[in-house]
Amino acid sequence: MPALERRHFLKLAAALGATLVVGCSPARPSASGWRERRDLFPQGVASGDPDAHSVLLWTRRPYADGREGATLQVEVAEDPAFTRVIATAAAPVLAAADWTCRVLVGDLPPAGEYWYRFVDAEGNGSRIGRTVTAPAPDDPRPARFAFVSCQSLPEGAMNAYRKMIFEDERAAPEERLGFVLHLGDFIYEVVQYPEQVKDGKRYDRVITFPVKKFANGKAVANNRFMVPGSLDDYRALYHAYLLDPDLQDARARWPFVAMWDNHEFSWLAWQSIQEFPGEGRIPAQTLKVAANQAWFEYQPMRVTPPGRQITSFEAPQVVDTPVTGFDDTGLGQEANNLVAIDSLIAYRALRWGRHIDLILTDQRSFRGPDPSNRDEIGPLFEGVRFPFFPEALSMQVDSGREFANGRPPAKLSFGDKSIANYRASEPAQSMLGAKQKVWFLECLRGATATWKIWGSSLGTPDWRIDPQNLPPAMLPPDWMKWSDGYAVLSNGDWGGMYHERAQIFDAVRDAGITGFAIVSGDRHSFWAGYAARALPPAAFEPVGVAFVGGSITSPGMQEAYEHGKKDSPLRPLFIADRADGRMEPTMNLLLHHGVRSALEYASSGDLAKAHAVGNPQMAPHLSFVDMGGHGYATVRVDADTMATDFVCIPRPIERSRGVDGGPLRYRVRHEVPLWRAGEKPRMRQMVLEGDAGLAV
């Protein structure tokens, strides 16, 4: 390696908190004396954030004899038998870093396949991992990756990873996945102890207790959950999750590219501020830093810690201090808040061959306060029994003084109630914050790959429904009549961030960007459709396509409604209860085709009739919705087409005993030809296997 290039990799390794290993030495057989002892490397191995010439490797080798550190040897080979070792180096593990090890392997050829392992001073070895480098930026070959999210270990089994591995092992080399994009909720910091779980179950799921009791945890939400109270508590979560055999096998097979969502820090948190039901805002700068440190220690990603040390994360000193002053994007200006947020910057971009520019944004660290959670809005909802709220109200509250091009209404209304518009003089809310948004838009405008893929932990499609089409006789006499037009089921993600989302989509349009696609998670359901700033009766002008992946394990809205109140007059909109005990998710039809469609199917069971009475103006942005979908999605792109497959498995209540991860519910492909500037994207849907039911 030339001296100048070596200095580049040394600088990069230091910035990433990693040891540098230089590859492409003359290949030779291993001389390490490695003998596998997985019990001494209990969390396995992993790799992450590959580029065309380097990749990060990871393991954990804990010691319990009182020492403060040790040295491992890492080996990288061109074959799984390690007869062609191309790189070796010493790598430190420290108690201060929870015995985790990060190694940057540099000077590798693009599009290479490699095997790696770690060995301690006694010859005890980790399991063997496999990784790849990215194709060169001008490599014209098709590219393929998977995206996943939301894996609550106590609530289910990670059968999706087992199926992904099974299929990838049997795929032709050119059809194998290049990487796995994890879009958040890798861990869930809210756990339950046995005494907090009624009847030992949530819904039909038997709750397990793989996470050791937190040393410094606290009870929240009226003692329903326990949450971490220290760095060691966050580390305990990763210890437990990475003992899962299917997750561990997946991390050993592919490089992961990860972005956090909320549960890596705290359930309802934003910036460094925690919130729990009934408890208000809690300053948690010390826990934000702790959560960032644990994520850095256990996720081998190209992110920079504050101290930029070779071996460990140097946590800044912060004090838990109330955050009261905010800038126009909602970023709290309290000094400890800013230091805690900046202790780890996770938004970043990666290139994968000629066809993928992947841009990852952080939806939690810079997000402003949610204006729909304020006390002022409470009077509008007094006595309201609807589980949804007016779309117009959601837009007005989100956009503040920017609503209607700077002409917000003087009052906010719901039915026959109204209040003064407390948002009329306030700025629109922001998910990204000013600095990250500038960076993101610059990345989009500067992207040169065929497909510009935005990786967001939070979904972007609108949650729109049409309760104006409810039959009047359906509602009890003591319910208010719905008179507010369209409604939304949720506004907590990009689907309710109308103003800032429109800014992003307008930037895509104005720059003439083609091949714009969004992949996301968090909703615990599969969605496919179009990226558009507005829906009818406004002009519907999609600028890209959008996908949301189902959860690996975590329960979703369908499961919640199945176990909800069966005497609710609105239940047929969400669940159709059949005489044989089956519960069918009419909520898929509600979101995709409207109230009349959901009610027709609940009544007749005839899907053709249900589609025939749908509302074509309600959701032209959607082509697929499955609110009970679990599994993963794969993406294949080339110079002409993007094909996204939803691979849906049955509800993962128990671990599959088979090597294939168990049965398949369906495999549905969404195929999008590349469009030219000024054209609208078009999506074609194909059910390749199984039955997608009411999702289409």
pLDDT number for residue 355: 98
Among the residue ranges 20-24, 575-579, 619-623, 683-687, the one predicted with the least confidence is 20-24
pLDDT number for residue 8: 66
Spatial CA neighbour of 552 closest among 283, 247, 296, 240:
247
Q: Quick check: 103 pLDDT over 60? A: yes
DSSP assignment of 552-615: SS---HHHHHHTS-TT-TTHHHH-EE-TTS-EE-THHHHHHT-HHHHHHHHHH--HHHHHHT--
Q: Higher model confidence: residue 21 or residue 374?
A: 374
Among the residue ranges 14-23, 205-214, 262-271, the one predicted with the least confidence is 14-23
pLDDT in tens, 623-636: 999 999 999 999 99
Q: How confident is the model at residue 18 (pLDDT cuts 50, 70, 90)?
A: confident
End-to-end Cα, the chain, rounded Å: 54
pLDDT number for residue 345: 96
Q: Higher model confidence: residue 111 or residue 26?
A: 111
pLDDT in tens, 32-79: 999 999 999 999 999 999 999 999 999 999 999 999 999 999 999 999
Q: Quick check: 386 pLDDT over 80? A: yes
pLDDT number for residue 25: 72
- Beta strand 516-521 with 451-458 is parallel
Q: Quick check: 310 pLDDT over 70? A: no
pLDDT number for residue 22: 77
Q: How confident is the model at residue 4 (pLDDT cuts 50, 70, 90)?
A: very low
Mean local confidence (pLDDT), 140-167: 98
Mean local confidence (pLDDT), 166-186: 98
**Is the CB of residue 299 less than 8 Å from the CB of residue 258?**
yes
pLDDT number for residue 308: 66
The amino acid sitting at 636 is R
What is the average pLDDT value for the chain, to the nearest integer?
A: 95
pLDDT in tens, 402-460: 999 999 999 999 999 999 999 999 999 999 999 999 999 999 999 999 999 999 999 99
Q: What percent of the chain has pLDDT over 70?
A: 96
Q: Quick check: 9 pLDDT over 80? A: no
| 454-491 core/surface letters (b: 16 or more CB in 10 A; e: else) | bbbbbbbbbbbbbbebbeeeebeeeeeebebebbbbbb
* Domains detected in the chain: 3-134+178-199+207-346 (2.60.40.380), 371-428 (no CATH)
Q: How confident is the model at residue 516 (pLDDT cuts 50, 70, 90)?
A: very high
Q: How confident is the model at residue 1 (pLDDT cuts 50, 70, 90)?
A: very low
Which value, to the nearest 10 degrees, does the dihedral of the CA atoms of residues 416, 422, 423, 429 take? Answer: -100
Q: How confident is the model at residue 312 (pLDDT cuts 50, 70, 90)?
A: confident
- Could you check whether the bond before residue 109 is cis, i.e. omega within 30 degrees of 0? no
Mean local confidence (pLDDT), 517-534: 98
**Is the CB of residue 394 less than 8 Å from the CB of residue 488?**
yes
Q: Which helix (H) or strand (E) holds 418?
A: strand 417-420
Among the residue ranges 13-27, 136-150, 594-608, the one predicted with the least confidence is 13-27
Q: Which helix (H) or strand (E) holds 45?
A: strand 45-48
